[in-house]
Structure 1
Amino acid sequence: MLRSMITASNTMNELQKQMNNISHNLANLDTTGYKAVNTSFSELVRQQIEQVDEKNNEVAQSRKTPPGLRLGVGALAVDKLTNSQGSLKETGRNLDFALTSPYQYFQVDVDGEVQYTRDGAFTLSTVAGNANQVQLMTADGHSVLDENGNAIRFDRRYQNVQVDKNGTITVSSGNEGEAPLRFNLGIVRAVKPQALAAEGGNLFSVDDNLRATALINLTGAGRQEISIKQGSLEASNVDVSKEMTDLIASQRSYEMNSRAVTMGDQMMGLINSVR
């Protein structure tokens, strides 16, 4: 009974993680550029209990299964980031940039650390200490970086912002004879997307030891891989029907395992009541 209760309780803990992920996905259904987290399960290592000792060699040789019992100890939940492309929503706003290729991310500065996002709803904000300059920012106030890791800043008279499909921003003042400025958006491609760690606020980070192998900075000829559409935003890739189906299945599995714990408790109660 104790083994059945331990196995069931281990599985219940992992099922709770799946339900937490489903709740998080549904809560971010309308979050720009959000990537759903799906849960899969694998079986924990089984334990072999040798409780059968065959005395008859003929019987032992005729067995189709190994002697004893192989008891599982529950399931293990594995989280996986889903990088499928979300649908595009037209906004008509010049500072809305939608990445139209999966596995690509904007680079942003978060308190001195480079992090990554698919949310391209940008704004122009005055540079602290210099009222004559503006910089490209995320909706949460993080600086958007160029391909060299520098904040994108320019004189505030340059208000006309255009971006091509390869991520080159052109800003112009509209004054005749004044040359426009150009910046290359910092875009990376995740070749090992599971190295991305969610930081909240629709941001991801990568461990410094994994950064060189998990990400490719799309510069030079690599910028031809970039695909951006201006005046649009990428919607969440959460599939509501799948999430609801998984939620029902996980709740029923949780209920089944909780009943296994209850049955184990009842059986132990019967044993304890024997006089």
Structure 2
Amino acid sequence: MLRSMVTASNTMYELQKQIDNISHNLANVDTTGYKSKHSSFSELVRQEMKQVDEKNNEVAQSRKTPPGLRLGVGAALTERLTHAQGNLKETKRDLDFALTSPYQYFQVDVGGEVQYTRDGSFYLTPGQGNQVQLVTQDGHAVLDQNGNAIRFDQRFSSFKVDAGGNITVASSNQGEAPLKFTLGIVKAVKPQALKATGNNLFTVQDELRPTALINLVGANRQDISMKQGFLEGSNVDVTKEMTDLIATQRSYQMNSRAITMGDQMMGLINSVR
């Protein structure tokens, strides 16, 4: 009974984490560029209770199962980011960019640290002098391929981005050459190395960065694909999340019931005089 209660309590702890993941996914169903988390379960280490040896050697030799009673100790949860492409939403806004290839991320400066996002909803904020700076909706600087902030004169006439992430800013002064910038884009070749830091941002440990990410510069920029005037929606499948939520709640109830029944049986044993 104690073993059954321990198994059930361990599993309930992991099921609660799955419910939290589902709730987080559903809460971000309308978050731009959000990548959902997928949960899967695996069995924890089993313990084998030795039984009395078979007295009949012929029966013992013909046995196809282990001679012990194998008892599990619950389930373990594994979380993985789902990097599937989200649906595109047309906004017709010049500062909205949607990456149309999976595993690619914009580079932004968050307190001096380079982090990554799929959210291409950008804005202009006043910079030094008469300049403006390209930032995220939280005010983090959007970086170019060299890791520098993108700044230009506030008296510009147009702002264009091509499919390869090349920005062209036309000046309002006739005869002045347009400014050109190149958005900093990376590709995650080991996407599970990305760790969510909140606010739709991801980071990678410094020791994993060289092998987990490829900075798309030079010839690699041919792999970039984006659209101006669009935003990528969340890749959350509401139908699947609701189905998983119902199944998880039923599993939680079953394990909770197992603990209750074990407690009742122990109470009966303790009451025997």
TM tier, smaller: over 0.9
1:79 is paired with a residue of what secondary structure?
A: strand
Alpha-carbon RMSD across the aligned residues, in angstroms, is: 0.8
1:208 is paired with a residue of what secondary structure?
A: coil
Amino acid aligned to 2:134: L
Report the equivalent of 1:243.
241
Map residues 30-41 of structure 1 onto 2, 5 A cutoff. Answer: 30-41=30-41
Q: Return 5+ residue gaps in structure 1 as ranges.
A: none
Amino acid aligned to 1:161: F
2:80 is paired with a residue of what secondary structure?
A: strand
User: Identical aligned pairs, as a percentage?
Assistant: 76
Out of 256-265 and 49-58, give the one that drifted further: 49-58
Q: Shift of the alpha carbon at 1:174? A: 3.3
Report the equivalent of 1:6.
6
Amino acid aligned to 1:245: T
Map residues 43-192 of structure 1 onto 2, 5 A cutoff. Answer: 43-127=43-127, 130-192=128-190
In the superposition, the TM-score normalised over structure 1's length comes to 0.98
2:207 is paired with a residue of what secondary structure?
A: helix
Report the equivalent of 1:272.
270
Report the equivalent of 2:191.
193
2:129 is paired with a residue of what secondary structure?
A: strand
Report the equivalent of 2:223.
225
1:209 is paired with a residue of what secondary structure?
A: coil
In the alignment of these two chains, the number of paired residues is: 273
Q: Return 5+ residue gaps in structure 2 as ranges.
A: none
Amino acid aligned to 1:75: A
1:212 is paired with a residue of what secondary structure?
A: helix
Amino acid aligned to 2:63: R
Q: Distance in 1 between matches of 2:219 and 2:52?
A: 67
Per-residue deviation, residues 42-69 of structure 1 (Å, max 9, x unmatched): 1111111112322322121021111011
Q: Shift of the alpha carbon at 1:159? A: 4.4
Q: Distance in 2 between matches of 1:271 and 1:243?
A: 42
In the superposition, the TM-score normalised over structure 2's length comes to 0.98
Q: Shift of the alpha carbon at 1:157? A: 1.8
Q: Distance in 2 between matches of 1:268 and 1:21?
A: 34
